[in-house]
Structure 1
């Protein structure tokens, strides 16, 4: 994969300004956002999200508009960095570059287009160093929001299609530039734009035109390969269409499924089930309530020439399926439970914990004694609270079982997390032994 920079004119040599303040003075027109005293260190330490409550005042006439580049300064009006302003969001500013970075290299300072190019190049180089794409995997995450220092921007690559998930006003403002840069990546022939409408409403955008948005790429399905297994991906499906974050966890299922009886609950398009079957499982059942998802799963069975006598799918509510199985004392050697996001906000964490506990209690009841349960939460609120393991312990008590933890994992390595912004962590995956 060629870098974006190799397709564009070379950057000019670094500017000689010593500070952002001097640079802004020479370019004119940049408002300054002054932080309250005592609120600066968090952002100097790298947190990219400046909440409106941390802002003391804004200096500049006319005042900045959403998407404008602004200087960010401490209480003494000394710049600490620059970012993109939002007049409506609780995230008043998304910091893009700190003062010390501008001192080392001013070529991107206060210039979002150049910074985009630089950060996308860095993202490409990181994935290349991780071996992505490769001969047996061409589905991966290219940009992971704060983890790649482009807060609000997610880009997944599926074969020759790049899917852009937009969840920030600035991303919508720079859509043309983002599509242009990504479209120049070697091997990418189509760019699908998927705005996160509910989040963009909170960003203060008029989403009227986005409610029934369809990307203009005219591609609605693509075939990809991951760890040597082929998938048909619907680009109108959940999230960006495919959960690349579970790649390393699916590989583990492949390696431990030989001669096992396997149940994949909330299977979506069959990722875990396919890996179990390909890994030599004797019998695999996938359960999901979505008919379109199961159609994809069945298509994927055919794509991989798997024996349909060893892998099947059932359209059913997860809880009802597991309750009926438990009532018949049916049990599996290996159970995977990967429910949808149950706690989209912290305020519903308590009720979501109850749902996770109930689902996992049922899953434990239908796992053979000594068998394995891989259980997941993709709710950021649950992962960040650290309550998931406690919830699993409660589920074990509820089901009359005991558990031991064999493995604790998160998203695949192409989903980097900035430790200065732990809110970016969302996926938790536990492999448990059920006793």
Structure 2
């Protein structure tokens, strides 16, 4: 077993069971890509069993902090079975859910989503990549499913020195699927959709939006960065009369049309704008348009804290425009999925946007990812999705 020895004083994070060790914390030692290594403090004290990544700034990702535990087939069987069992206990009102959420489930670099009878998986680290074939077998055994599609096509793999890869790892057939969440039917494509196929983390926020639209009597709704229209369908389910979905992807908007239809809503009266959201908001403001409810669910603006300042300006600008477009008493759901933007910073950004817009608003709820995307107490970086539900004064 190869050993990694840390610099003096750099053991504190592992002692707190935080799973990452950065390159600058290592005094000596190494290994092959994904190889299991023993991680020790400067004095030889055992800290963790971990996967080594020779190319990433995150040089080590911990599998276990138990010196007696072995990283073998039985280890992965236990971790996967535990993750699947947790989701079964959460009472998720959907046939689609996240089954494995990386570090939060003790499996760094592994993401697994279930869409009905199909699993969609991402191997995002050298550690999960090294155990890929075994993990596939264990996933099929733990879930009893026979279809598994790989979506290891994210830029994170490049940082790990890994090539991108997609395709069926088990089973075959159509990649276009339909799922049900909170009584609504939504179509997706595990091969072509964002992430593993869809944004399951917003499941409960879509339901909350539908409830608020109904409670507040919102009739005119704008869904920005709408993707395939999940929040648009939710708004109509909540009683909205007219919904405009804005996204820069034509195919996503076509899927949004189909999602309206599959839930019994005629897409004819509703708007589908293939446009840049920032430009759309500015044009709507120039035309004197207003809305009763607006959703801002943009893509990641800041991949890390180093990009936070630039991202903050972008978040502030779209929130300023949205708040100005809201009718008095109107509802804004605004989100950030940037790991480099904390919940506290996001609150300050939105507050600044309100000040610049000359608009006051009340926070009626703080929003986060659905519970099948957990954040552990030892890994706060896992809390990537944060949101606010605001009512304009």
Q: TM-score, normalised by structure 2?
A: 0.94
Partner residue of 1:73? 40
Task: Decide whether the 8 Å contact of 1:255 with 1:279 is kept in 2.
Answer: yes
Q: 1:115 to 1:299 in 2, by over 3 A?
A: same
Matches of 1:64 and 1:333, distance apart in 2: 57
1:170-185 equivalent positions in 2, closer than 5 A: 170-185=127-142
Q: Secondary structure at the match of 1:162?
A: strand
Task: Decide whether the 8 Å contact of 1:50 with 1:92 is kept in 2.
Answer: yes
1:16-415 equivalent positions in 2, closer than 5 A: 30-58=1-29, 64-99=31-66, 102=67, 106=68, 109-132=69-92, 136-186=93-143, 188-205=145-162, 207=163, 210=164, 213-215=166-168, 217-235=172-190, 236-258=192-214, 259-261=217-219, 262-309=221-268, 311-383=270-342, 386-415=344-373
Please report the RMSD computed on the Cα atoms of aligned residues, expressed in angstroms. 1.8
Q: Secondary structure at the match of 1:431?
A: strand
Matches of 2:144 and 2:206, distance apart in 1: 25
Task: Decide whether the 8 Å contact of 1:67 with 1:85 is kept in 2.
Answer: yes
Instruction: Give the unaligned 5+ runs of structure 2.
Output: none
In the TM superposition, residue 73 of structure 1 has moved relative to its aligned partner by 1.6
Task: Decide whether the 8 Å contact of 1:69 with 1:110 is kept in 2.
Answer: no
Greater displacement, 404-413 / 31-40: 31-40
Q: Deviations over 1:64-114 (max 9, x none)?
A: 312211111222212222111222222222111113xx5xxx4xx222322
Q: Deviations over 1:284-308 (max 9, x none)?
A: 2211111010111111111111233
Q: Secondary structure at the match of 1:204?
A: coil
Partner residue of 1:433? 391
Matches of 1:319 and 1:202, distance apart in 2: 30
Matches of 1:309 and 1:88, distance apart in 2: 51
In the TM superposition, residue 269 of structure 1 has moved relative to its aligned partner by 0.5
Matches of 1:92 and 1:254, distance apart in 2: 43
Q: TM-score, normalised by structure 1?
A: 0.85
Matches of 1:315 and 1:197, distance apart in 2: 24
Q: Deviations over 1:214-258 (max 9, x none)?
A: 445444211111111001111111111110101111011111223
Matches of 1:342 and 1:302, distance apart in 2: 32
Q: Secondary structure at the match of 1:381?
A: coil
Matches of 1:122 and 1:184, distance apart in 2: 13
Task: Decide whether the 8 Å contact of 1:260 with 1:283 is kept in 2.
Answer: no
Task: Decide whether the 8 Å contact of 1:36 with 1:74 is kept in 2.
Answer: yes
State the aligned residue count.
Answer: 387
Q: 1:416 aligns with which of 330, 355, 374?
A: 374
In the TM superposition, residue 347 of structure 1 has moved relative to its aligned partner by 2.4
Q: 1:215 to 1:281 in 2, by over 3 A?
A: same
In the TM superposition, residue 431 of structure 1 has moved relative to its aligned partner by 0.5
4+ residue runs of structure 1 moved beyond 6 angstroms?
Answer: none
Q: Secondary structure at the match of 1:292?
A: helix
Computing the radius of gyration over CA atoms, which structure comes out larger, 1 or 2? 1
Matches of 2:132 and 2:123, distance apart in 1: 9
Q: 1:185 to 1:222 in 2, by over 3 A?
A: farther
In the TM superposition, residue 309 of structure 1 has moved relative to its aligned partner by 5.0
